[in-house]
Amino acid sequence: METSEREHHIQTLENLLSLYKAREKCEGYYDSELKDDIEALQYAVTSLKTDLKYDLMYEGEEIYTKDEVKAMLTKLQQEILQKIDNLKGEEE
């Protein structure tokens, strides 16, 4: 899947946000300007991600949360293990 311009900007902002958070943690003091920058970057990332989700839903794509994907994979894993057990039972 090709990365859209919006996804590229989201990733770039998330990288920048990580750097700002690391700087805040390393410096170990309260810097109101740095804190404002971090909040602004978090807001921008969240806003772009929301826009992207709405665009994908408009195009008919299904959007899943991490928990939903985890649940689907767990269910699939259980089904596979059950089929393996059934095949082992048939061999005996």
The count of structural domains within the chain is 2
pTM value is 0.56
What is the 8-class DSSP label of residue 29?
S
Output the pLDDT for position 45: 93
**26 with 44, same domain?**
yes
Question: What is the average pLDDT across 7-11?
Answer: 91
Q: Which two tokens stand for residue 80?
A: 């596979």
**24 with 56, same domain?**
yes
Q: How high is the mean pLDDT of the chain?
A: 85
Question: What is the average pLDDT across 17-35?
Answer: 78
Which amino acid, residue 6?
R
What's the chain's Rg over C-alpha atoms? Answer: 21
Q: 14 or 63: whose pLDDT is higher?
A: 14
**20 with 43, same domain?**
yes
Cα separation, 86 vs 66, whole angstroms:
30
Contact indicator for 9, 47 with CB cutoff of 8 Å: no
**37 with 74, same domain?**
no
Output the pLDDT for position 1: 45
Q: What is the pLDDT of residues 59-76, one digit of tens each?
A: 777 778 889 999 999 999
**4 with 27, same domain?**
yes
